[in-house]
Amino acid sequence: MTDTTSTDATEDTRPLLERARSGMRGLAEVETALSEVAVRLRQARGAVRPEEAVVDVALTAVVAGETVPDDLGDRVLEIRHSNEAQLAEAQVLGPLERRLRERLLAVHREQADAALAVLRAELGALLSQARPVLAELGSNVDSADAAISADRVQQWRHAVALAARYDEVRQAQRVLVSAVVSPESHVSDRVSREARAAVDDYGTVVDADRHYPEVGTDVNRSEVRIGETRIFSGRLVTSAHTDRPLRPRPWFTGDALTDLRFVCRADVEAWLPTVRQLTGARDEHEQRRQDDARAEAERLPGDEPDRRLPRGRQMPPPPAALVQRLAEEELGTR
């Protein structure tokens, strides 16, 4: 098997997130200006001196046997003028910093999809490489020791390298989405909880709830809450309790190779949507969940849904003899 992990001399070796952002017009300029403004703000605020410092100068002179300096007033005015200049600069730099942050958010909102397109192309190329590698590696090889035993060390190394690239794609996706849906995080590479949930639940595979019915469950991932849903004052209210551990998403388990194997399956369609597609999928799922919950809460007694066995087979009615026996026991005639 040919090892395709070697890089061409002309290949862009920059981190993927940096490559994706490089096409966002004005981003580098705004980020540079923000860094410069932050430094100058710190300098301006740190350069402010108390006027009382002149008193210390005079006291030092007197204690040393000298006379009180004649230029105390000039020294106070010098400090005052310097402070006024520094404060004036800070008063200008503060609004400038806010305007730059607003501009940075606008750049992300306007051009995040272009950066995501770079990630989408990377994902497509990566999956094309990964499918034959994973097929040759085999699903039973899940560790370096297993790869040695199966004489597939080269395939294992290649698969691990591809998995690391896949993890980088998804992390870059989270950062880019977070900069749009969570304005407080757009000035750094932090990923907000909202953005992480959106990408991990709705922005990784198509028809996520087909593979993972619990998608979109807004609870701690270490537990699942089961309860009764009802309508109270026009709002849906659910009384919940902890029941059992919630299994992890099969495409986001914490192990990059396991995640890559899942999205490479024949019945799974990997997805890296635009911001609008992502938020649309999230909102559509939430609306569907609310509609189902409302229908369940408004269902009248006796309107029980059909109880069906696996593969659509309807559960047969209970035997007549069983019904008769239960009736007799209930009436006390048996």
Which residue from 110, 125, 165 is spatially nearest to 275, judged by alpha carbons? 110
Cα dihedral 236→237→241→246 (10° resolution): 20
**pLDDT over 90, % of the chain:** 38
Measured between alpha carbons, how far is 173 from 12 in angstroms, rounded to an integer? Answer: 19
Alpha carbon distance 172, 17 (integer Å): 5
pTM passes above 0.75 = no
Q: With cut-offs at 50, 70 and 90, classify the pLDDT of residue 314.
A: low
Per-residue pLDDT tens for 1-57? 445 444 444 566 788 999 999 889 988 899 899 899 999 999 988 888 888 888 888
Among 43-47, 162-166, 288-292, the minimum mean pLDDT is found in: 288-292
What is the Cα–Cα distance from 147 to 260, expressed in whole angstroms? 17
Q: Give, as one character, the DSSP assignment of residue 205.
A: B
> Which bin fits 143, alpha (ψ -120 to 50), beta or left (φ > 0)?
beta
Distance of alpha carbon 116 from alpha carbon 173, whole angstroms:
7
Compute the average pLDDT of residues 320-325.
70
